[in-house]
Amino acid sequence: MSTPPLPPATPEIPAGLPQHTLSIVVPMYNEAENVAPLLERIHLALDAYPWPWEAVLVDDGSSDATFDELLRCARLHGPHVRVLRLVRNFRQTAAMQAGIDAARGSVIVTLDGDLQNDPIDIPRMAGRLLAEELDLVAGWRKNRQDGLLLRKIPSRIANRLIARMTGVHLRDYGCSLKVFRASAIKNVRLYGEMHRFIPAWLATVTTPRRIAQEVVTHHPRVFGQSKYGISRTFRVLLDLIFVYFFMRFRTRPGHFFGGIGIALGALGSFILAWLTVVKFCFGEDIGTRPLLFGGFFLIIAGVQMVTSGVLAELLARIYYESGSTRSYLARDAVTPADEECWHLPGANAEVSAEKA
């Protein structure tokens, strides 16, 4: 099978980019055939980039030859291509967090390793981020090259639901091609499968006004198999509930649980008060009424919810006062990461001269 053709157009490098360093983070799992063409596309897109950049490629415990290909291509392109290997498959969110932790640039780009995201959009998105003083420019796959039933329709439903519940209105939450200001994204910790909700998480440390979206190129998958299926829809719904809770009540979880507890306790108290009136004013027997047991159980549930709120407040304090805990375990660095390991403007010309 032949390598997918490289983008024919010359990448658009915005003029007057302020000084910065750029890190490109790519989590990869069983994408051996995509490693070489992906790095070729990244170098094509950033060959004329005027500021230093690096590529941080994270092998998420692949069971094929992905890691070997990453090492081979890193040696071929130079020390600005860095490889990080996780000890097992921690899934995309943890791999992305590992890459973000390892990234040294003041601007961080994330994209998938399946060649569906096109690095040719990176300079334009980075230029907008810096020119408009944004913290995130998220990609919008306006012409998405995926199946309608299993990918597009569930994604559209999820995007609208996420936007409605989080207040961050984007058309495409699932696009991995995103450009961040490092000072913002490094204040967000990603766990579970929360990479789909990065814009919502970012809104907890910055204002939604500093979050924008940009139409990006999207290609059909050529090599490998998709790691997503219809089952992810149910995981998205569960994660969305957690995100909604965390965005609204992360610093005051006692209000959430306590509010429910007070409501349940009040309802139970009203029931028991009514039964008391029935017993002593009307002389009716209430000992066998189901409503009596319902009232007692509602009061007990209310007390438990209030207690849970107190415990949640204590856990929240521990969360904010404790040190950071990583959601992944990486092996020792297999490629260097010193201050000189950047792709500098004009570096490709020097490499070509050496080869000649």
What does the pLDDT look like over 205-220, one tens digit per residue?
Answer: 888 889 999 999 888 7
Residues 46 and 61 occupy one common structural domain: yes
Q: Is residue 3 a part of any domain in this protein?
A: no
pLDDT above 70 coverage of the chain, percent:
79
What pLDDT score was predicted for residue 27? Answer: 95
Q: Do both 344 and 285 map to the same domain?
A: no
Q: Is the domain of 291 the same as that of 333?
A: no
Predicted local distance difference test score (pLDDT) of residue 266: 94
Same domain, 150 and 111: yes
CA dist., res. 41 & res. 126, Å (int): 17
Q: What is the pLDDT of residue 9?
A: 57
- 22-67: pLDDT as tens digits: 999 999 999 999 999 999 999 999 988 999 999 999 999 999 999 9
74 and 221 part of one domain: yes
Distance CA 267, CA 302 (A): 9
**Does 137 fall in a domain?**
yes
Per the domain annotation, does 89 fall within a domain? yes
The answer for residues whose C-beta is within 8 angstroms of residue 14's C-beta and 6 or more apart is 123, 124, 126, 127, 128, 131
Q: Which of 314, 311, 291, 313 is nearest to 303 (CA)?
A: 311
Cβ pair 60, 29 in contact under 8 A: yes
Q: What pLDDT score was predicted for residue 71? A: 95
* Residue 65 resides in a domain: yes
Confidence of residue 200 (pLDDT cuts 50, 70, 90): confident
Mean per-residue pLDDT for 300-310? 91
Q: What percent of the chain is modeled with pLDDT above 90? A: 44
Q: Is the pLDDT assigned to residue 94 strictly greater than 60?
A: yes
Domain harbouring 187, CATH code: 3.90.550.10
Residues 143 and 264 in one domain: no
Cα–Cα dist 223/34, whole Å = 7
Range of the domain at 269: 253-319
225: region left, alpha or beta (phi > 0 left; psi from -120 to 50 alpha): beta
Of 81-90, 94-103, 206-215, 245-254, the poorest mean pLDDT is in: 245-254
As a whole number, mean pLDDT of residues 257-262 equals: 90
Mean pLDDT, range 299-315, rounded to an integer: 88
Please tell me the distance from the alpha carbon of residue 28 to that of residue 3, in angstroms, as a whole number. 18
What are the helix (H) ranges across the chain?
32-46, 66-77, 91-102, 122-131, 153-166, 182-185, 198-202, 232-249, 253-282, 290-321, 347-355
Give the residue-averaged pLDDT of 66-78: 95
Instruction: Give the total number of structural domains in the chain.
Output: 2
Question: Distance between CA atoms of 112 and 56, rounded to whole angstroms?
Answer: 12
pLDDT-derived band of residue 245, with 50, 70 and 90 as boundaries? confident
Pair (203, 56) in one structural domain: yes
pLDDT confidence of 247, banded at 50, 70, 90? confident
User: Residues 313, 206: one domain?
Assistant: no
The string of pLDDT tens digits covering residues 111-141 is 998 888 899 999 999 999 999 999 999 998 8
Cβ neighbours of 17 (radius 10 Å) = 17
Q: Which of 161, 305, 289, 285 is nearest to 233 (CA)?
A: 161
| DSSP 8-state assignment for residue 345 | T
**Would you state the pLDDT for residue 340?**
72
351 or 76: which leads in pLDDT:
76
Is 16 inside a domain boundary? no
Residue 216 within any structural domain of the chain: yes
What is the C-alpha to C-alpha distance for residues 152 and 30, in angstroms, rounded to an integer? 23
> Does one domain contain both 346 and 268?
no
Do 48 and 61 belong to one domain? yes
CB 133 within 8 A of CB 230: no
- Mean pLDDT, to the nearest integer, of 267-275? 93
pLDDT band at 234 (very low <50, low <70, confident <90, very high): low
pLDDT interval class at 1 (50, 70, 90): very low
Residue 133 in any domain: the answer is yes
Average confidence score pLDDT of the chain: 82
Distance CA 35, CA 158 (A): 30
Element at 137 (helix H, strand E): strand 136-140
Distance CA 24, CA 108 (A): 6
pLDDT at 147 over 60: no
Q: Rounded distance, CA 26 to CA 79, Å?
A: 16
Instruction: Verify that 157 and 258 share a domain, yes or no.
Output: no
208 with 337, same domain: the answer is yes
Residue 8 falls inside a structural domain: no
Map tokens 């980039």 to a residue. Answer: 49
C-alpha to C-alpha distance for 262 and 310, rounded to whole angstroms: 13
pLDDT tens-digit series, residues 154-195: 666 666 777 777 677 788 887 889 999 999 999 888 876 777
